[in-house]
Amino acid sequence: MTAAATGTGDWRLVVQRLRRDPRSVAAAAVLSTVVALVLVGPMLSPYQPFEQLDITHLVHTPPGATHLLGTDAYSRDVLSRVLSGGRVSLAVAVSAVFIESVIGVVWGLTAGLAGGRLDGVMMRCVDAGMSVPRVLLLLALLAAVSQVPVWLLVLVLGATGWFGIARLVRGEARVIRSSDYVLAARALGATPARVALRHVLPHVLGPVLVWCTLAVGQVIVLEAGLSWLGIGVRPPQASWGNIILDGTEFIASAPWVSLAPGFCLVIVVLAVSALGDGLRDALAPRQLPRT
Amino acid sequence: MRALIQRLWQGVLVVAIVATATFVLVRLAPGDPFAVALDNSRLTPELRAQWRVAYGLDGTIGTQYLRWIAALLRGDLGWSVSTGQPVVQAIAQAVPYTLVLMGAALLCSFVIGMGLGAWQAARHNRLPDRVIGVVTLFSAALPDFWLALVVLLMGASWFRIFPVGGASDQLLPLSASALTIVADRLAHLVLPVFTLVLLIAAPVARQQRAALLDRLHADWVRTATAKGVAPWHVFRRHAWRTALGPVVTLGGLALPALVGGAVFVEHVFAWPGMGELAARAIAARDYHLVVGCVIVGAVMVVIGSTLADLLVTRLDPRAATADDNRRMAGS
Amino acid sequence: MLSLRAAATHLLPLVILAACGTGTDTKPSAAADSPGGTVVISTPAEPDNLMPPITTAEAGLQVEDLVYQHLADVGPALNTVGDAGFTSSLATRWDWAADSLSITFHLDSAAHWHDGAPVRASDVAFTFALYTDPKTASAAATQLTNVDSVSVHDSLTAVVWYKRRTPSQFFDVVMQIYILPSHLLATTDRSTLASSRLATQPVGSGPFRVVRWVPAQVLELAADTTGGRRRAQLDRVAFTYAPDPVTAFTRVAAGEADLFEAVRPDKVAEVAKNPQLRLIVAPSLLYSYLGFNLLDPGTGKPHPIFGDRNVRRALTMATDRRRIVANMYDSLAVQARGPFTSAQSVADSALKPLPYNVDSANALLTSAGWVRGPDSIRRRNGKVLGFGILVTSTSVPRMRAAVLLQEQFRLIGADVKIEATDFGAWLSRSKARTYDAVVGQWGQDAGPANVRDTWMSAGAAKGGNNYSSYRSKAFDAQVDSGLAAFEPSVMRAHFAAAWRIIADDAPAIWLAEPRRVMAVQSRIKVTGIRPDAWWAGIARWQIPADQRIARDAAAGAAR
């Protein structure tokens, strides 16, 4: 094990390694383009995302010169909606995944390294948390707040999405904590937090990154999947998830509505995944140099 | 053995807490236990109050809870208003269907996922690895509701190869041979299982690949290789075994779905399983049925996490803590 | 999609004609067609029980209508005054007393329960007692308060005694109740009828008996062939359940099932292209609306926006209802004109809805004190013209209406938020009146009495079904007079006056009267579609012997 590159001073090294990895550079370029598009795009797009152009004659217009990605069931321009919906979706995905991975990693590391009774209690909490359907929590929340805003939805998604990560991290941590170098570090008087961050964290990063990559895509969809409860992005505001959801009904007659945001979603997931792989390699240089 | 018994007790406690929390949560949700029946302009508030009494849903939440506990001790989970039958019966009808669907789907997903992951790790950074990587990301990124509908329309409507949902052809004549019946059941399984495999196999493959790569480059594997141990032997004997950890944990995480089902897939494919039953119960505010479904799910979560822990310890003894080892020795 | 729209609009006049024609040209024509065949109905909605007094959902009524019998059935014109147009069912004939305070029903001597026991007048008396027992908690009981008692004259003759003479006294009695078997229910606890054996395995006297019910999968009925009465023309009817409407429709499109009752506009072209399928468009008794809450959800005082009649009228005129309805249903709905549907006998086809006129709407709002600010949103005394629209997310057309209305309101300077919820939360907020505006839909009985609960002062209190809390003495008086009129023309005149009052007061924006759009396999000869119950004529539907397919022959032998 070469020194895990997690100390603050080593970040420059990580960035340097990332820069030398063509795959990471490409992924970062794609992601920046997407982010730039959703930030600037709405200002350039020819129509307002909520504008109903002609509700009887321009419904479900196929892609063409005037509407590059066609129109939806309300005669709204799909391109304008995809551009404006990207902001919400990306923001929701990044923040929810960030919250769930932080809670999950901290919880899992603590339980796995502590072991014994604390481990038992913490993991039984995870079992209990996993058992309560998220929909029920959100419905109960509706009793207090009749309309759940997006930021609260992000909090709830993050706070209820970390159980799987915690279990994965805890499983890995249990394996690693009895490795020689962890035992050695402990014997040398390293504090538990230092052991966790410097010696164990780099090793559990693999499963966490895989999980997060997939979670980015799932959260974007989940945001829309909960819209039937009146939670999250409200009509007429667009999100990639709700454009896909609304378009699914017309998958046979107007496939372009759900395919356009679906394509964006997949692109983002692919880029995030490539970047995640690159990041992992950069953090754990003992892997093959070319990974 | 002592450890197992202790886990069992903890599990019972977890289920009890979850059941109580659900009991409260579902009553906090805005709505009425007779929501399905109430879209009718003739129903007066008095009638609703009467119905509440008839189904034991009157009084404070405390009295309802005590009443529910008393019934539970007799093995009665209450009456499901939305399905018009006892909760136990509704669940007993749905569980076998979900077991079949999810059993097939999880088995296929893990076998395919682990196989793909291992192949990717062995062909690391070569074409198969790259292609499978993109494909698995694709299928994992697709929204489940979208994917289920597309698979249904493609397989059953455009190409008309498979039946349009359901668990079997309900109108098969009595005279149908055993072979016809089995073929019919299998034909109904294909599309929903295919959809689920697309969704579940991807994370399995990715975790398997990541874990294997991680282990293959660990020092002790390198040492083994350096000592001249055959690469295949290293792979099988050292890397594969310990790299199963994350996959086993994923399996533990997926186990509840074996009985809990998959809501969107069951919904679209009209599969009469637990996922659809639970979703319908929540939508109808069928309090007793919701609690019943959540209890079944919680039991499976507990079993899943216990099994995963046991299995991981078996596969990689390092995972066992000192006190675990002592307990294992005692068992 | 242009091609789809063109196909739909060209096709519709034809299919509507076809639907109207089915009532006459496919009468049981010849003995050449022996009874037989199976109709598989694919539907997303499963009954919660099959116990008539406590059934309210349409999924249950569909099955009960085939299994049980009314004393008589309402005619296709849905007349509810006196007994004009009614056809015999369990009762073959009936006599009115001279003072109209009693009606003597003579039962069909061949009628029997599916277990073989004969139907007796004592069953009629028992059924009335069961429906009106407070322990039963039947929603139909409110319609039966005018019945004093039912006496048994002899085994086949029952006499219904009324407290008062009313125009709908015959309708109220014959259509509100299904006659139930006293010998199977006499000892059943009436407060837990839903868990009785008959709630899942009903024993009726109707044309079909229940063979089996596999929850979430299938409910199979077979023609009852044991008695001396004319049997159903079909051998069996099966309801197969698929919770997702797209799946339920696809079963019919793929030929696995025979009938789907709620085809969405975007599937019409697909049905038209399929040579196996026929589209049947029939009237229904549904209307949808955007209801304004006339009271402030917080204080219960008049609503700061919707308390003003001129504002409600302005908001109505700001909406292009014709095109909203066209977007929601293509040409498969007509614009609603009030809280009634065209198929009802009290409909007023001459009523003109408030016009779509954005200029008048703007002028009216400005004169009411709501003035546009620099952000083009209107304000009065610093308060924004903003409100929420409560809508059930699970209904595609209603959700569509909410988003379309929101945009049209935006254009006249209103800041509208859509509050989408699932059905349970929607219902509880509607009943508690904790909303500003609500997209709703009511299904009517054949008779006009529903309006009493939904738009009259009687239903205005919290928990009642007049969600808008609309109170108008003039409207109440006209409806009451209409309901008390014995002469159909007088009745219609009173209702016409009532509809004018409510249209002027604009407690709601009346949206659509969606039609019943069914996709049916063309081998099935459909007849007798009634606006309140498309299934009412199933016993007379036919499948010509030469067009039957495999599942038609398998009747009586299903697994």
Asked if C208 contacts C67 with a C-beta cutoff of 8 angstroms, the reply is yes
- DSSP string over B192-214: HHHHHHHHHHHHHHHHHHHHHHH
For position A138, what pLDDT does the model report?
87
Picking from B11, B29, B278, the nearest residue to A143 by CB comes out as: B29
C1 pLDDT higher than 60: no
For chain A, what is the mean pLDDT? 86
The answer, for C508 touching chain B at a CB cutoff of 8 Å, is no
The per-residue pLDDT for A218 is 87
Counting one residue from A and one from B, how many pairs have CB atoms under 8 Å apart?
Answer: 184
pLDDT at A203 over 90: no
Q: Report the helix count and the strand count for chain C, using DSSP H and E.
A: 16, 23
Work out the number of other CB atoms within 10 angstroms of the CB of residue B307: 14
Q: Residue C161 pLDDT > 80, yes or no?
A: yes
Closest CA to C555 of C69, C129, C222: C222
* Closest chain C C-alpha to B320 CA, distance in angstroms: 45
In whole angstroms, give the CA distance from residue A152 to residue A149. Answer: 6
Alpha-carbon gap, residue B169 to B153, rounded angstroms: 18
Pair of tokens at residue A12: 């420059």
5-64 of A, contacting B, C-beta below 8 A: none
CA distance C238 to chain A (A): 27
User: Can you give the pLDDT at residue C3?
Assistant: 38
- Between residues 275 and 294 of chain B, which touch chain C (CB distance below 8 Å)? 276-277, 280, 283-285
Q: Are A56 and C422 in contact (CB < 8 Å)?
A: no
3-class state of residue C527 by DSSP: coil
Do the Cβ atoms of C96 and C156 come closer than 8 Å?
Answer: no
Relative to beta strand C72-73, strand C87-88 is antiparallel
- C22-28: list long-range contacts, CB under 8 Å, 24+ apart: C22/C280, C22/C525, C22/C526, C22/C527, C22/C528, C22/C529, C23/C76, C23/C527, C23/C528, C23/C529, C26/C525, C26/C526, C26/C527, C26/C542, C27/C527, C28/C233, C28/C540, C28/C542
Nearest CA to CA, how far is C432 from chain B (Å)? 11
Tell me what pLDDT residue B4 has. 83
CB contact under 8 A, B29 and A136: yes
**The Cα angle at residue C57 between residues C53 and C62, in degrees rounded to 5:** 85
Q: How far is CA B293 from CA B18, B287, C204, C400, in A?
A: 11, 10, 34, 33
Measure B93 CA to nearest chain C CA, in Å. 8
Indicate whether B268 pLDDT > 70.
Answer: yes
The stretch A17-32 carries a mean pLDDT of 89
Contact B316 A175 (CB under 8 A): yes
Residues 37-96 of B with CB under 8 A from C: 37-45, 47, 50-51, 53-54, 79, 81-86, 90, 93-94
Whether residue A3 is predicted with pLDDT greater than 80 in this model: the reply is no
Residue C24 has pLDDT above 80, yes or no: no
* C477: contact with A, CB 8 A cutoff: no
pLDDT digits (tens, 9 = 90+) for C71-110: 999 998 888 889 999 999 999 999 999 999 999 999 999 9
Tens of pLDDT along C372-408? 999 999 999 999 999 999 999 888 899 999 999 999 9
When the pLDDT of each residue in chain C is averaged and rounded to a whole number, the result is 89
Q: C421 - beta bridge partners?
A: C392
Neighbours of A148 (CB within 10 A): 20
Query: Is the link from the previous residue into C302 a cis peptide, with omega within 30 of 0?
Result: no
Strand partners, C288: C441
What is the C-alpha separation between A180 and C69, in angstroms, rounded?
82
Distance (Å, whole) CA B147 – CA C364 = 49
Cβ pair B35:C424 closer than 8 A: yes
When mean pLDDT is compared across B267-271, B307-311, C9-13, C37-41, the lowest value belongs to C9-13
- Residue B260: per-residue pLDDT: 82
CA atoms within 13 A on the CB side of B32: 21
Average pLDDT over residues A173-186: 81
Neighbours of chain B (3+ CB pairs under 8 A): A, C
Calculate the CA A287 to chain-centre distance.
Answer: 25
Whole-number average pLDDT of chain B: 85
Over residues C477-481, mean pLDDT:
95
Q: Chain A within 8 Å of B253 (Cβ-Cβ)?
A: yes
User: For residues C535 and B219, which has the higher predicted lDDT (pLDDT)?
Assistant: C535
How far is C447 from chain A, CA to nearest CA, in Å? 34
How far B152 CA sits from the closest chain C CA (Å)? 8
Residues of A in contact with B289 (CB under 8 A): none
Q: Go through C522-541 and write b for each residue having 16 or more CB atoms within 10 A of its CB, e for each that does not.
A: ebbbbbbbbbbbbbbbbbbb
Distance, in angstroms, between B181 CA and closest chain A CA?
Answer: 32
String of DSSP letters for C528-553: --BTTBGGGGGGG-B--GGG--HHHH
Q: What is the ipTM of this complex?
A: 0.88
Instruction: Decide if C87 contacts C72 (C-beta within 8 A).
Output: yes
Higher pLDDT, C13 or B198: B198
Give the count of Cβ contacts less than 8 A between chain B and C: 170
pLDDT band at C130 (very low <50, low <70, confident <90, very high): very high
| Residue C205 in tokens | 């006297």
pLDDT at residue C33 above 80?
no
B159 touches chain A (CB under 8 A): no
Query: What pLDDT does residue A179 have?
Result: 77
B130 touches chain A (CB under 8 A): no
Chain B residues 266-325 with a CB less than 8 Å from chain A: 278, 282, 290, 294, 297-298, 301-302, 305, 308, 312, 316, 318-323
The answer to whether residue A242 neighbours chain C at the CB level (below 8 Å) is no
Phi–psi pair at B198, nearest 5 degrees: -55, -40
Which other chains touch chain C, taking contact as 3+ CB pairs less than 8 Å apart? Answer: A, B
C386-392 sheet: strands from edge to edge: C415-421, C386-392, C437-443, C286-292, C508-510
pLDDT at C330 over 50: yes
Chain B hits for A171, Cβ within 8 Å: 245-246, 248-249, 308, 312, 319
Indicate if the pLDDT at residue C210 is higher than 80: yes
| Shortest Cα–Cα distance, B50 to chain C (Å) | 7
**Between the CA atoms of B71, B75, B80 and B84, what dihedral angle is there, to the nearest 10 degrees?**
-120
| pLDDT > 60? residue C474 | yes
Which range is least confidently modeled, B35-44, C146-155, C461-470?
Answer: B35-44
| Position C23 confidence tier, pLDDT thresholds 50, 70, 90 | very low
pTM, whole model, 2 decimals? 0.90
pLDDT of residue C372: 94
pLDDT of residue B39: 60
Name the residue among A60, A228, A236 with its Cβ closest to that of C406: A236
- Bigger pLDDT: A286 or A140? A140
CA angle C87, C93, C97 (to 5 degrees): 115
Chains that touch A (3 or more CB pairs under 8 A): B, C
From chain B, the residues in CB contact with C425 under 8 A are: 29-31
Tokens coding C416: 């509208």
Residues of B in contact with A290 (CB under 8 A): 125
User: Is the model more confident about A5 or about A44?
Assistant: A44
pLDDT score recorded for residue A7: 45
Identity of the amino acid at A149 = P
- pLDDT of A280 reads 77
Q: What is the pLDDT of residue B331?
A: 34
Burial C215-251 (b: 16+ CB within 10 A, else e): bbbbbbbbbbeebeeebbbbbbbbbbbbbbbbbbbbb
Nearest to C558 among B36, B93, B173 (CB): B173
In the 3-class helix/strand/coil scheme, how is C316-367 assigned residue by residue?
HHCCCHHHHHHHHHCCCEEECCCCCCCCCCCCCCCCCCCCCCHHHHHHHHHH
At C213 the three-state DSSP class reads strand
Name the minimum distance, in Å, from the CA of B253 to any CA of chain C.
Answer: 27
Comparing CB atoms, the residue among A139, A266, A291 nearest residue B29 is: A139
Angle at A187 (CA atoms; ends A183, A189), nearest 5 degrees: 120
For C:372-411, CB contacts with A below 8 A are 388, 393-394, 396, 399-400, 402-404, 406-407, 410
Window from A161-165, A225-229, B6-10, B270-274 with minimum mean pLDDT: A225-229
